[in-house]
Amino acid sequence: MTFADNKTAKRAAKLIKEFVKLQPDPENFFYYKMEKGSLVTGVDETTNVVLVVNRTRSFGFYSQVAYPAAFLASYYRSTGEEVYLEMAKDLLYFLDSCHERVYAMQASTQKLAVASALVGAITDNADFIGMAERASSFLLWEQNEDGTFFDPATRKAMISEEVPLTLRLVDSML
């Protein structure tokens, strides 16, 4: 991960830290929208699917948790500030405790693979390495005989192009 400058990266890391700190029920939910310094939590069920990752729900925008985990791990590598690595690990443990579909949702699974591989490479922790391997296995399982990924009639072509890059990145870290 590349940062435009350290000041911007630090502000982003602190913002993610604030999101984590404000979570009202971090064992079960991760809210990822904020307005005027407060998390948006009081929403109807339809909007709730879009604005929160619910640990037990079979669908969620898991990438909204995986992206910050990858960023925090990268920021830790840049600064050595342990608090950011610990937050990345906590976010990944949360994702791992989510519905099993976290490992079977194309784009989200790619982000999970990268974040867990990054933390696994930093910590040499078997939990995170296993998460990266499990996510990568799903991505490989989805490969077609012609080498593409997913059905182009039902999936965005961009996702198909990202998968080999994700797998190479994960492989290079582990």
Domain boundaries, the chain: 6-173
For 161, other C-beta atoms within 10 Å of its C-beta total: 11
Instruction: Give 39's Cβ-side CA count (13 Å radius).
Output: 21
**pLDDT given at position 169:** 84
Look at residue 47 in the predicted model and tell me its pLDDT.
Answer: 66
Query: Which residue did the predictor score with more confidence, 46 or 101?
Result: 101
Quickly list H helices, 23-124.
45-51, 63-79, 82-97, 107-123
Q: Residue 31, SS3? A: strand
Q: Who contacts 132 (Cβ-Cβ below 8 Å, separation ≥6)?
A: 113, 114, 116, 117, 120, 170, 173, 174
pLDDT tens, position by position, 30-62: 998 888 888 888 767 666 677 889 999 888 889
The rounded distance, in Å, linking the Cα atoms of 45 and 56 is 14
**1-5, 58-62, 91-95, 130-134, range with the lowest pLDDT:** 1-5
Q: Hey, how many other C-beta atoms are within 10 angstroms of the C-beta on 85?
A: 19
What is the rounded distance in angstroms from the CA atom of residue 77 to the CA atom of residue 87?
13
Where does the pLDDT of residue 150 fall: very low under 50, low under 70, confident under 90, or very high at 90 and above? Answer: low
Work out the pLDDT band at 153, boundaries 50, 70, 90: low
Count Cβ atoms within 10 A of the Cβ of residue 102 and give its class: 0-12 exposed, 13-18 middle, 19 or more buried: buried
- Identify whether the C-beta of residue 139 lies closer than 8 Å to the C-beta of residue 149: yes
